[in-house]
């Protein structure tokens, strides 16, 4: 795989759960991008997560961001403690997010049917 292909795949990967969108998924669900941040658990608090998400979502243009967070061990790098992984999936608009959530309801729709995208 070329560097360009690896980079393009990286921009389609939700690192919080190691999920890679296909180029077709990106078009079909109108996903503008997937942005990831990895760091020490104690330094990546709710305030950091919200700031990171707001830095990649252009709410003034109607974009919606969905935040996914996980704690992971990173065996390929020499860090002993697990790290926090934050992924923000950015959709073109609320409708794109809702169609995506309904298509992936096993992940995004729970008993309380409460979908909470980042809008502002």
- pLDDT at site 111: 55
- pLDDT at site 74: 72
Backbone phi and psi for residue 5, each to the nearest 5 degrees, phi listed first: -65, -40
Q: What is the mean pLDDT of each run of 10 residues along the chain (120 residues)?
A: 90 93 96 95 94 96 94 76 94 94 81 48
- pLDDT at site 110: 64
- pLDDT at site 115: 47
Assess contact for 96 and 29: CB atoms under 8 A. yes
Find all residues with CB under 8 Å of 89, minimum gap 6, and list them: 14, 31, 34, 65, 66, 68
Q: Is the dihedral of CA 7, 81, 73, 118 positive or negative?
A: negative
- pLDDT at site 45: 95
Q: Which two tokens mark 5?
A: 């292909």
């Amino acid at each position: 795989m070329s560097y360009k292909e690896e980079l393009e795949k990286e921009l389609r990967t939700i690192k919080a759960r190691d999920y890679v969108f296909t180029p077709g998924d990106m078009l079909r669900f109108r996903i503008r991008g997937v942005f990831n941040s990895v760091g020490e658990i104690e330094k990546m608090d709710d305030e950091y997560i919200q700031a990171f998400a707001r830095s990649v979502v252009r709410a003034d243009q109607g974009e919606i961001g969905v935040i996914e967070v996980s704690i992971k061990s990173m065996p390929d790098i020499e860090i002993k403690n697990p790290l926090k992984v934050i992924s923000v999936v950015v959709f073109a608009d609320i409708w794109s997010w809702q169609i995506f959530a309904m298509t992936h309801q096993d992940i995004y729709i729970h008993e309380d049917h409460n979908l909470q995208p980042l809008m502002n």
